[in-house]
Structure 1
């Protein structure tokens, strides 16, 4: 499904994205959900294409969803149920196809963190600029460079996630962000006061501490690598988000953490891994080997700005995330 040979799927092949905690509503998936279809402004499409072609952006490729290409929808009702972007219906825009980062997780716990201290693009109207500046001041964006957009958590025995809406993140003060992160990374049976909790204030969500701590460390390492890359790239990333996904199913999480530990041991010792055994396990389970994933997403207002240096507002936000992760890890030690 390359850019110069766009696919033409029938609308019946598209389904609503099951787990969406941020961004515009109406994002679709193809088939088994491995690929996302979404409307894209020209700037976002250009960014995804530039990441593939521009060597200066090569280091960022592994930290954004894999870009597959573009497509056009066929059928009279292809626009029904799809969102609009900046007031233009999806069926009048080019659709892009990208990796669904949550695909392969059995019970994906998902957090969308809006990055940056500036929430308006350079071509924003004065009215929109004023509105976005007010929103940044009234939330945690202006002070910390982040806003917890929304998140969902699974219980080990639950078939549906507990969804915490955007209003929760918007209501937080900067001093309360550590509590927000703790609520997204709970130790099992320690959740108190979340929306949707039972009268006793406890929810069947979270992982055992023995699994949560190593997953937090992996996520922290990934965020640090993203920070190091962004400090060297000259971009303005208005409205982009940091997407964090980790496995909520205990058995899958345990197996993934153990697998990753063996991988690291093999690398440090110079030994070859048992590829046949790993492939057999993956095929049997049908999921990802990794216990978590971190990606930058949402590039409708991301631009290359040669000679202007990195996006300091986004870097501030990533530093805030690193501090919150460090604090959560320390609280569990």
Structure 2
């Protein structure tokens, strides 16, 4: 049975912000993420699902499109229900921010929201590449983006911390801590405070939070889990031919130390809960409860992405992926 999308009136702004464009929405339950997009981004999602399944595994779960108008009451998108029933996997997230930048389109892509299901999701967006602009970019944009590259870790490491939010524990207060207890690291943190010599500290700030119960033991386990996925993403990109300008690696993990430890303990008792998908012979109901969330790593932001047969791997993005892997190796004690 297909899942009916909420009406436009029932959609709300998505406010768990670290990086991205304005205009992103969620359903009231927080299970769906609705992102303004272009036809090119939809085409990349659909072609990846059709012909590049190894890469699609690391994309946000795509469930169809919507037209953002005021006449959506009662509209059902068959892909939504079909994807949820067929995939039966842990949901993913794409993270937006209020920046004042809005894509001029009434078309939106519908994705599952991986922040849903975490007790306190910690979120990090890592923008990939040395060159950040696509071939069709305006000259003004090329100049502006090249300046960002020149002044940040993009130049040497091929990535930049675009933003992150880290839960600081119950009762945390401060000018940079929001009402939910999250410390917010905005785009200026990655542009002006982070350089090659201290980039490891940014990842430590993201993963380790003693006040939230994320001690060295738990933090290293998280870093090692992230590294395993980043290494697999690297291998996939090295074996395929694509170009993705201004794509990102998205990291999400359980920021409540007590909840994280319980989730890890449960996963160790039930290894099957860590598998992406279910045994095809299983007769369990589709509504069976999935174990508590631990972490997610995805590649996101495909507005300027395409497959380029015959042109080789995307070394521009791969430089950043490899650099991130080295940082995670360092802080994970691998």
Q: Give the TM-score range, shorter chain.
A: 0.7 to 0.9
C-alpha distance in structure 2 between counterparts of 1:245 and 1:59, whole Å: 20
Counterpart for residue 139 of structure 2: 126
How far 1:76 moved relative to its partner? 8.1
Aligned CA distance change for structure 1 residues 73 and 288 (closer, same or farther; 3 Å):
farther
How far 1:210 moved relative to its partner? 2.7
Say if 2:38 is the partner of 1:29. Answer: no
Say if 2:198 is the partner of 1:176. Answer: yes
Counterpart for residue 14 of structure 1: 11
Deviations 1:241-262 (A, max 9, x none): 0000010112220121112323
Flag structure 2 segments of 5+ consecutive residues without an equivalent.
74-97, 172-179
Aligned structure 1 segments of 4 or more residues deviating by more than 6 angstroms: none
Query: What is the number of residues matched between the two proteins?
Result: 293
What TM-score comes out, normalization by structure 2 length? 0.79
C-alpha distance in structure 1 between counterparts of 2:305 and 2:147, whole Å: 21
Counterpart for residue 58 of structure 1: 53
Aligned CA distance change for structure 1 residues 266 and 297 (closer, same or farther; 3 Å):
closer
Aligned CA distance change for structure 1 residues 187 and 163 (closer, same or farther; 3 Å):
closer
Say if 2:238 is the partner of 1:231. Answer: yes
SS at match of 1:71: strand
Flag structure 1 segments of 5+ consecutive residues without an equivalent.
189-203
1:135 corresponds, among 145, 148, 152, to 148
SS at match of 2:198: helix
C-alpha distance in structure 2 between counterparts of 1:111 and 1:8, whole Å: 28
State the Cα RMSD in Å. 3.1
Counterpart for residue 196 of structure 1: none
What TM-score comes out, normalization by structure 1 length? 0.80
Counterpart for residue 81 of structure 2: none
Counterpart for residue 88 of structure 2: none
1:46 corresponds, among 32, 40, 43, to 43
SS at match of 2:309: coil
Say if 2:207 is the partner of 1:185. Answer: yes
1:153-168 superposed matches below 5 A: 153-158=166-171, 159-168=180-189
Deviations 1:65-99 (A, max 9, x none): 10010112342899xx997644x2xxx43111011
Deviations 1:155-182 (A, max 9, x none): 2325331111110100121222111111
Aligned CA distance change for structure 1 residues 153 and 8 (closer, same or farther; 3 Å):
closer
Q: Which has the higher helix share?
A: 1
Deviations 1:233-279 (A, max 9, x none): 11101010000001011222012111232345999xxxx9xx99xx9
SS at match of 2:200: helix
C-alpha distance in structure 2 between counterparts of 1:295 and 1:180, whole Å: 19
C-alpha distance in structure 1 between counterparts of 2:100 and 2:43, whole Å: 20
Counterpart for residue 325 of structure 1: 328
1:257 corresponds, among 261, 264, 280, to 264
SS at match of 2:33: strand
2:207–2:219 Cα contact (<8 Å) kept: yes
Counterpart for residue 299 of structure 1: 302
Counterpart for residue 72 of structure 1: 67
